[in-house]
Structure 1
Amino acid sequence: MHIWVDADACPKVVRDILFRAAIRTQTPLTMVANHALPLPNSPLIKQVQVPKGFDVADDEIVSRIAPGELLITADIPLAAEALAKGAVVLSPRGERFNTGTIKAKLTMRDFMDTLRASGIHTGGPDTLSAADRQTFANQLDQLLR
């Protein structure tokens, strides 16, 4: 298995969990971002730095990810594309996306975008909690076993 991370929006605490898990399980991990990230000194952990621009990192991930590989992202459209390629997708909150629920998530995302575009304040996601971090770590461990 290979772990791909949509790293531009990935919380630092989640990146740290990923680094430890990759080293512990000897699983290759690639961070994809449009800026340089501090990485641990490990041959298993690499970064692909892409130019700044709309969906550039997402497009890079979709072009490289293979069936059975793991993607970490909160980006619903990216998750849908990775699922369509046969990848396993996990959010930084530990939610595992699947083909049965991704269409509903895309519909809700589009609806919320429409509300925001019309001037309605919808708020953002809650702050990543300790419970979210634990859920993520537990799900990641299950997937890496």
Structure 2
Amino acid sequence: MERVRNRVVVDADACPVKPEIARTVRACGATALLVSSHAHVLVPEDRVEVVTVDASDQAADLYIANALRRSDILVTGDYGLAALGLSRGAAVLTPRGKEIRETDIDGLLEQRHFSAKLRRGGTRTKGPPAFTDEDRNRFQQKLTKLLQGVQENDGH
């Protein structure tokens, strides 16, 4: 049986889909918890709680790790935090609408490590492609399905 998920926890500092999250949780009767550093000013809304942490490097990640529950959906592009979320039983969704699963995380962490090693060695690596309306729509559709408990067997 699919686990009921009714709270979205967001690594909000660089999250480009905060408006979509707010709209979707309201439409689905869920709630959201946006966690960000003092450098970002976020305003609470109906069904959207905002937590501000200090600006230290991992403060938001640590707060999220301690706040996550098995029934949550974690929205993050940080693969280290995604791994933590998966270990806590949360569903993990990137802002581009890709659900990260247990079968994905080792390869993603390995890729992140390899890219960081190249950069430390002086190699320039490509950043992510520009964020598009298609990414935004994919994210909102996937978040809606996760909140509604729609099971997908498409491999992603």
Q: With structure 2 as the length reference, what TM-score do the two structures score? A: 0.87
Matches within 5 A, 1:126-145: 126-145=129-148
- 1:39 aligned counterpart, secondary structure: coil
- Give percent identity, aligned residues only: 33
- The Cα of 1:76 is off from its aligned counterpart by 0.3
Is 2:106 the counterpart of 1:77? no
Structure 1: gaps of 5 or more residues:
none
- The Cα of 1:41 is off from its aligned counterpart by 3.3
Matches within 5 A, 1:104-115: 104-115=107-118
Matches within 5 A, 1:116-131: 116-131=119-134
Structure 2: distance between partners of 1:67 and 1:9: 24
Aligned to 2:3: none
Paired residues, what number? 142
Structure with the larger helix share: 1
Is 2:94 the counterpart of 1:91? yes
Structure 1: distance between partners of 2:134 and 2:59: 31
| One-letter amino acid of the structure 2 residue matched with residue 37 of structure 1 | V
Is 2:103 the counterpart of 1:100? yes
Structure 2: distance between partners of 1:67 and 1:77: 17
Q: CA RMSD in A?
A: 1.1
Aligned to 2:7: 2
Structure 2: distance between partners of 1:16 and 1:102: 27
- The Cα of 1:54 is off from its aligned counterpart by 1.1
Structure 2: gaps of 5 or more residues:
1-5, 149-156
Aligned to 1:38: 42
Aligned to 1:28: 31
- The Cα of 1:68 is off from its aligned counterpart by 2.1
Q: Is the 8 A contact 1:19 1:40 kept in 2?
A: no
Q: With structure 1 as the length reference, what TM-score do the two structures score? A: 0.94
- The Cα of 1:45 is off from its aligned counterpart by 0.8
Structure 2: distance between partners of 1:68 and 1:87: 6
Q: Larger relative contact order (C-alpha < 8 A, sep ≥ 6)? A: 2
Aligned to 1:55: 58
Q: Is the 8 A contact 2:37 2:54 kept in 1?
A: yes
